[in-house]
Structure 1
Amino acid sequence: MDLRIDMSPSYQRRGEIWSKWKRAHLIDSILNDFDIPKFYISNFLRAHSPLNENRKGYAIIDGKQRLGAIFDFFEDKFPLNPSFKFDDDPSLELGGLFYSDLRLRYPAVSRRIDSFSPTIMDVVTDDTEKITELFIRLNMGEAANSAERRNAMQGPVPALVRELAVHPFFMRKIKFSTARMQEFNLIVKIFMFEHLGGFSDTKAKNLDKFAKEADDWSREHATDENPMGPYRETSNRIYEVLERLNKEFVDRDPLLTKQGEIPIYYWAARNFPEKTNELRDFVLEFSELVMDNMRGQRDEQRQGNQELTTYYTLSRTTNDLHSYVGRYKIFEKRFLEYLRAPGRVAGRR
């Protein structure tokens, strides 16, 4: 890989999104002379730029997955797909071969990718907004989800969310896929709740609005001494809660597979800091009660507990304000009952 290229500027999406099949399919397209979309690269060689975060000559704006796939193929990190056919000579059995195999056995074919000359759009600007707006515009289609587009926005919220994303709770404890920045989506929801001091709708447009309002605040009030203002204070409060949650839950915790439930657990840990060490045991018991209640109604046709049924029903629409308020009200009530239960040993049921 060319070390002069910064493959991970802050506005970029996380790598390793493409499967090996998809990366090999790109090589298929190059070898068979299909058109490849343009690459957009920041050029920092012409002048000093504050956007050059990692002091390299270039930084990728759009085309990271494609460029990474080409580099990885050159390094024998994946072979051609088994179904690969070379259109100029279909009799050649090239499927499953690595780049080094092609160079050794079929040099005429390997020259197709050796001589591949991508279309590069050279972007020269000192304006962060123009870089990030270009990235967003290029990825407004299916390729970029809301969390990825929000990460490319300006202002305190995306920057602080990136900081929180490397907390051990999100790095080690959660057990859902983070390939497309799903944890960023979860963090900004928690961030908004903490900043507003209560629950809110967490549909994408509301999260984007929250991030935009933070950016507006930054433009009017941020200083070199205090660039994040109240948003840094919010981040610090979240960090304190995450520290407690991190101690309570286990690595890749099976109780942390549902993103929609984690804000409820967070809010309980926030409101009852001295009882966070009781939280996981309660979540385990409560989750089993909710599921047993629903199985009983479905399989045994027995009348269920209305409160638990309501919680389960509300959990099906996790982004609505009504759902957050209703679920947390039930969760807190049950948590307090659990804490007051006679004969319970603190920290273990």
Structure 2
Amino acid sequence: MSYIETFPLQHSTILRIYSEREEIETSPEYQRNGGVWTPEKKQLLIDSIINNYDIPKIYFHQYSREDRSKIGKSYSIIDGKQRLETIWSFINNEFKISEDFDYQDDESIKIAGMSYNDIAQEYPKLKIKFDSFVLPIICVITNDFDLIEDMFSRLNEAAPLNSAEKRNAYGGDMVKAIRDISSLKLFTQKVKFKNNRYQHYEIAARYLLVETSNYENSKLIDTKKVYLDSMAKRYKTGNTKLVENFKNNVEKIVESMAITFINQDNLLRTQGIMVVYYLLFKKALEKNITISRIDLQNFDDLVKNNRLKAEKNYEDADFELLEFDRLSQYGTNDVSTIKEKLRILSEYLNL
């Protein structure tokens, strides 16, 4: 029978947690990525701690003794990753306190604009106070990993999680396939947009949706949130082999794309073109045709130059290229938009 229990972590001072940070897994699969806090938000957290304000609870998944020996970690973060990483980066002198900081307990102490090391040298007692601040850490013990993912999703329901982050918390076979695909070279080296809010996961999910909709309906469907979420839930369990087949199909096409595109490719600067390129390479593989990056770059240049031409004299511009450009400015998830862009690009490449 599944169970979940919670209890406060004892002696959870900042210094103790910092000293044990190697035992803490900061990026379990259900987590969203760090690195999205602004400098001002980081400074506000340190301000709150030094001035002894309450801060939101941090949740740890505490591993069993058996799991600890296998994983080499004692905990993983369910919620509070950005808070912990902010505290650790402050201790590592990676940013300074705000220039307008006021220490409320003693206005004669001026630490505005100081780093952690500056405080240690100028006000050692204040540094000790900071180190001794007790973080409100709640430990979670469970025998069902899905309950951890469910808890993470519930804790963040009031926070601005995007669709990919919420979907990642579902767990299961399809979500694992999404993660696996997003770790391939196309995403780690070739695309120009980052994965701070799981943008790579979103594209990987759309690629898998192309394969699942082809299997289920023999046609392409909208790549909107409702269909991506439905796919992740539908293939969560019970279809492991089928999901593996979908993943293998995607991997073949993604590997072909990775060969064609260069690192940090400007052609892959936005998410909007990614599904069109996927379908293009899928068609090329079926026809045993090699797609040249030069041809794709030439097409991209034609679209840009045609736009400039239309601004000067609309009648001289190429309508098909204008239509491709127009569709690129609108939603990229409608199947009609995807198909039309694919048609125009395919005809240019004689596919």
How high is the TM-score relative to the length of structure 2? 0.86
1:291 to 280, 304, 315: 304
Q: Report the equivalent of 2:24.
A: 5
Structure 1 residue 214 and structure 2 residue 235: aligned?
yes
Give 2:325's match in structure 1, choosing from 312, 326, 349: 312
Q: Does 1:235 align with 2:247?
A: yes
Aligned to 1:259: 271
What is the total number of aligned residue pairs between the two structures?
A: 325
Q: What residue number does 1:204 align with?
A: 225
Q: Which structure has more RCO (C-alpha within 8 Å, separation ≥ 6)? A: 2
Does the alignment pair 1:146 with 2:163?
Answer: yes
Aligned to 2:128: 111
User: How far apart are the structure 2 equivalents of 1:245 and 1:317?
Assistant: 23
Please tell me whether the aligned partners of residues 245 and 276 of structure 1 are also in contact (alpha carbons under 8 angstroms): no
> Deviation of residue 208 (structure 1)?
0.6
**2:229, 2:60 → 1: CA distance?**
26
Hey, what's the Cα distance between the residues in 2 that align with 1:182 and 1:83? Answer: 35
- Asked if structure 2 preserves the Cα contact closer than 8 Å seen for 1:27 and 1:80, the reply is yes
C-alpha contact 2:178 2:205 (8 A) present in aligned 1? yes
Q: Structure 2, unaligned stretches of length 5 or more?
A: 1-17
The answer as to whether partners of 2:49 and 2:55 remain within 8 angstroms in 1 is: yes
Distance 1:126 1:53, change over 3 A: farther
What is the alpha-carbon root mean square deviation over aligned residues? 2.1
Name the residue aligned to 2:349.
Answer: 335
Amino acid at match of 2:58: F
SS for the counterpart of 2:94 is: coil
Check the 8 A contact 1:136/1:149 in 2, yes or no.
Answer: yes
DSSP-derived class of the 2:61 partner: strand
Give 1:323 deviation, angstroms. 0.8
Distance 1:262 1:53, change over 3 A: farther
SS at match of 1:201: coil
Which is worse superposed, 254-263 or 9-18?
Answer: 9-18
Aligned in 2, Cα 1:285/1:115: closer, same or farther, shift over 3 Å?
same
User: Are residues 1:269 and 2:290 paired?
Assistant: no
Which of 340, 347, 350 is residue 326 of structure 1 equivalent to?
A: 340
Deviation at 1:318, TM superposition (A): 0.5
* Paired residue type of 1:101: D
Alignment partners' CA distance in 1, 2:257 and 2:25? 34
Match of 2:71, SS state, is coil
Q: Give 4+ residue runs of structure 1 displaced > 6 Å after superposition.
A: none
Query: Which of residues 146, 149, 153 in structure 2 aligns to 1:129?
Result: 146
- Give yes or no for contact 1:41–1:59 (8 Å, CA) kept in 2: yes
Distance 1:187 1:15, change over 3 A: same
| 2:57 equivalent in structure 1 | 38
Q: For 2:247 and 2:168, locate their aligned partners in 1 and report how far apart those are by CA, in whole Å.
A: 16
Q: In structure 1, what is the Cα distance between the partners aligned to 2:314 and 2:159? A: 43
Q: Equivalent residue of 1:259, what SS?
A: coil
Contact 1:31/1:113 (<8 A) preserved: yes
- What letter is aligned with 1:268? L
Other structure's SS at 2:301 match = helix
Question: Take 1:200 and 1:272, find their aligned partners in 2: how far apart are those partners?
Answer: 20
Residue 53 (structure 1) shift: 7.4
Cα 1:92–1:298 change in 2 (3 A) is: farther
Opposite residue 331 of structure 1, the aligned amino acid is L
TM-fit CA distance, 1:74: 2.1
Deviation at 1:49, TM superposition (A): 5.6
CA distance in 2, matches of 1:128, 1:201: 31
Deviations 1:132-183 (A, max 9, x none): 1110111123442111111111221110111111111110110112211111
Return the alpha-carbon distance in structure 2 between the equivalents of residues 11 and 328 of structure 1: 34
Is contact 2:30-2:169 (8 Å) kept?
Answer: yes
Structure 1 regions of 5+ residues with no counterpart? 223-227, 338-349
Determine the C-alpha separation between the residues in 2 that align with 1:336 and 1:301.
Answer: 26
